[in-house]
Structure 1
Amino acid sequence: MKLLLHLSIFFAILFISLPSSYSCNSVEKNALLQIKKSFNNPRKFSSWNPQTDCCTTWSGVKCTNGRVTDLSLFSSKLYGQIPDQIGDLLELRSLFLTYLPHLTGNIPRTITKLKNLDSLILRHNNLSGPIPDNIGELKKLRFLDLSYNQFTGPIPGSLSQMPMLETIIVEHNKLTGSIPNSFGSFVGEVPNLYLSNNKLSGNIPESLSKNDFNGVFLSKNSFTGDGSMFFGRNKSTVSLDLSRNMFEFDLSKVQFARGIVDLDLSHNRIFGNLPRELIELRGLKLFNVSHNRLCGKIPRGGLLQSFKSYVFAHNRCLCGTPLKAC
C-alpha cells in the first residue's frame, strides 16, 4: 500500500514538473512581436521577450493549447494604431483594447480574419473613422463595445447579420444617420442597443416595432418622430431611455412592458396623458417624463407618487401629486 502511495506521489510530482506540452504558436508569437513593434516597444511590453514563451510569461496574453485566445491591453502610455497583424491571431476569442487615449486610427480590415472572436472591446480610446461594415463578418461575436471613441459615419446595417450578437455598445461617439432599417430583422436574438451620446437623427424605422428589446438606450441624439415602437405589453423590456431627443408621439396610446424597471422619456415632445397602466409597474425604479408636452392628472397609486416632482416637471399641464393639485 505504501509502495502504491509513494509511486502515485512520484508520478504526481513528475507530472507537475514536466513542461507544458503546448508552447506559443510561432506565427502568433511573431504577430505579437509585430504588434509590440508597432507601438514602439513601450515599457508596457517589457514581459514580451522573444526568448520566452508568450503563453506563460507575456502580460495581457492568454492561451489555450498553445494558441493565443485572449489579448488585453490598457495603458495610458501606449501610442499608435491597431496594426494589421492583429488579424494573424486566428484563434483569438476576446480582444480588449481599453483606456488607451493615444490609440488612434481606424479599425483595420484584417480584424475580420478573427472568425472565432467572441468579445470585441475597443472602449475609451481615441479611434476614429467609420465602423467598418465588414465587421458583420464576425459571425461568432456576442459582445461589441466601441464606446467612448471618435467614430463617425453610420451604424453598419451588417450588425443585424451577426447571429450570436447579444449587445451593441457604440455610445459616446460621433455617429450620424439613423438606426439601420435592417435592425428590424436580426438573424439571431435581438441585442441590447446602447446608442446614446452620438449625432444620430431621423425617424426610427417602423421595422423595429416587431422586435422585443431587453434594453434600448438612445439618449442625447436628435431622433425625431414616433418612438412608440419600443413599447408593448407583451414585450420583455427592462430598460428604455429615449431622453433628450425630439420624439413626438401620444403616450396615452402606448402599453408598457410589465417588467420595465428604468423608463426615461424626458426632454422630448411627447404629448397626451399618463396612462393609468403606469401604476401597475411594480418594479419601476427610474422614471422621468419631464420636459415634454404632457397633460392631465397623474394617476394615483403604484409607485408614481414615490418619485420626486422634478420627474414630472416642465410639461404642458400635468397636475396632481407630487405636482400641484388639479
Structure 2
Amino acid sequence: MDKTTTLLFSLLFLFTLLTNSLSKNLCNQDDKNTLLKIKKSLNNPYHLASWDPQTDCCSWYCLECGDATVNHRVNALTIFSGQISGHIPPEVGDLPYLETLIFRKLSNLTGQIQPTIANLKNLRILRLSWTNLTGPIPGFLSQLKNLQFLDLSFNGLTGSIPSSLSLFPNLLSLDLSRNKLTGPIPESFGSFQAKVPDLYLSHNELSGSIPKSLGNLDFNRIDFSRNKLQGDASMLFGANKTTWYIDLSRNMFQFDLSKVEISKTLGILDLNHNGIRGNIPVQWTEAPLQFFNVSYNQLCGHIPNGGKLQTFDSYAYFHNKCLCGAPLDSCK
C-alpha cells in the first residue's frame, strides 16, 4: 500500500471517528436530563425503553431534534398508544424549544392539563387526546401565542369553554369534541384573532344559543353536533361563504330553513334530529354536496329537483312533517 493510499485511509478513519463522536453528542444535555425526568415521572414505561442515558437522546423513540441552527434541541415530543400510567409530567415545560407536544391514545393518563405547558412559548401543535384527562380547560393555554393546532378531544374535561381561546393569533384548528363541557359557546368566538379556525365542539353538553357574531365569520369546518344547543343557527350559512363542512345534528335548533342559502362550496351538511321547519330552498341544488341529512326535523314541501339532492336515499329525509318528492314519495 503506497503512502497516498495509507494517508487517505487514515483521514477516512479519523473522519469516521469524528462523525461518530459528534453523532453521540447531538442532544443538548439539559434536554436529555429533562427527558430522563419525564421518563421517571411516567414510571419508566417500556414504551420509552430507548431512552437510555448512555445514548444520544436525538435518536430516542417518540421525539425529534431540530437541526444545527437550534443546536439540536428537542422540538417534538410525541407519546402515543403505549401502556403509560400517571399524569402529564410537569417537566414537559422544561423543553423550551418544543414545537409539537402530543400525548394521544393513552387511556391511563389522568389528572389535569399540566400548567407548565404554558412555558412552551414555541409550541405550534398541542394534542392531548384519547386520554382520561379531567378538570377544566385552563385559560393559561391562551399564552401559547404560536399555537396553530389545539386538540383536546376524547377526554373527560368539564366546565365551560374559556373565552380566551379566541385570542390565539395563529390558530388554524380547535378541537374540543367528546368531552363533558357545559355552558354556552363563548361570545368571543365571533371574533377570533387570526384566520377563522376549524371548530369542533361535538359530543359535549353545551347549551344556549349560538352567538350571532359567529355569523360574521367564514368557517371552513364547523361541528357542533350532539350537544344541547338551541335557537337559531341560520347565521352560520351564507351563499357568499366558502364553508365546506357543517354538522349541527342532534341538538335543539329551531329556525325556518326556507330562506337559508348555503355556500356553493358546501360538501358536508348534517342537520338531523333538530326542530328545523320550512322547506328546502331551490338554491341548495347548486352545492356540491357529498353527504347530506335533514332527517328528524319538521320540514315540509317538495324536495327540489337537480344538483345532488336526489343522489341521497330516503334516510337523508325521513321523519319530517310533510316533505315529498324523490327520493321520498311523490307530492300529492
> Are 1:132 and 2:134 matched, yes or no?
no
Taking the aligned partners of 2:160 and 2:125, their CA distance within structure 1 comes to 21
Taking the aligned partners of 1:249 and 1:16, their CA distance within structure 2 comes to 74
1:158 pairs with 164, 182, 188, which one? 164
Taking the aligned partners of 1:90 and 1:147, their CA distance within structure 2 comes to 25
The 5-angstrom pairing of residues 110-259 of structure 1 reads: 110-259=116-265
Taking the aligned partners of 1:218 and 1:182, their CA distance within structure 2 comes to 16
1:60 pairs with 41, 59, 62, which one? 62
Is 1:76–1:102's contact at 8 Å kept on the other side of the alignment? no
Is 2:47–2:82's contact at 8 Å kept on the other side of the alignment? no
Q: How many percent identity over aligned positions?
A: 52
CA gap of 1:147–1:16, structure 2 versus 1, over 3 A, is farther
Question: Which amino acid in 2 is paired with 1:32?
Answer: L
The match for 2:292 is 287
Shift of 1:268: 0.4
Is 2:272–2:297's contact at 8 Å kept on the other side of the alignment? yes
> Are 1:28 and 2:31 matched, yes or no?
yes
> Are 1:325 and 2:330 matched, yes or no?
yes
Is 1:200–1:221's contact at 8 Å kept on the other side of the alignment? yes
TM-score normalised to structure 1 length = 0.94
TM-score normalised to structure 2 length = 0.92
The match for 1:298 is 303
The match for 1:86 is 92
Question: Which amino acid in 1 is paired with 2:175?
Answer: I
Shift of 1:12: 11
Cα deviations across residues 219-243 of structure 1 (Å, max 9, x unaligned)? Answer: 1111000111110111010000000
Question: Which amino acid in 2 is paired with 1:257?
Answer: S
Taking the aligned partners of 1:13 and 1:316, their CA distance within structure 2 comes to 84
Equivalenced residues, count: 320
Shift of 1:14: 2.5
User: Secondary structure in 2 aligned to 1:202?
Assistant: strand
Unaligned runs of 5+ in 1: none
The 5-angstrom pairing of residues 1-40 of structure 1 reads: 14=15, 18=19, 19-20=21-22, 23-40=26-43
Taking the aligned partners of 2:40 and 2:303, their CA distance within structure 1 comes to 63
CA gap of 1:315–1:61, structure 2 versus 1, over 3 A, is same
Cα deviations across residues 222-275 of structure 1 (Å, max 9, x unaligned)? Answer: 100011111011101000000000011111121110000000011000011110
Moved over 4 A (4+): 10-13
User: Secondary structure in 2 aligned to 1:254?
Assistant: coil
Taking the aligned partners of 1:59 and 1:122, their CA distance within structure 2 comes to 18
Unaligned runs of 5+ in 2: none
The match for 2:313 is 308
User: Secondary structure in 2 aligned to 1:72?
Assistant: strand
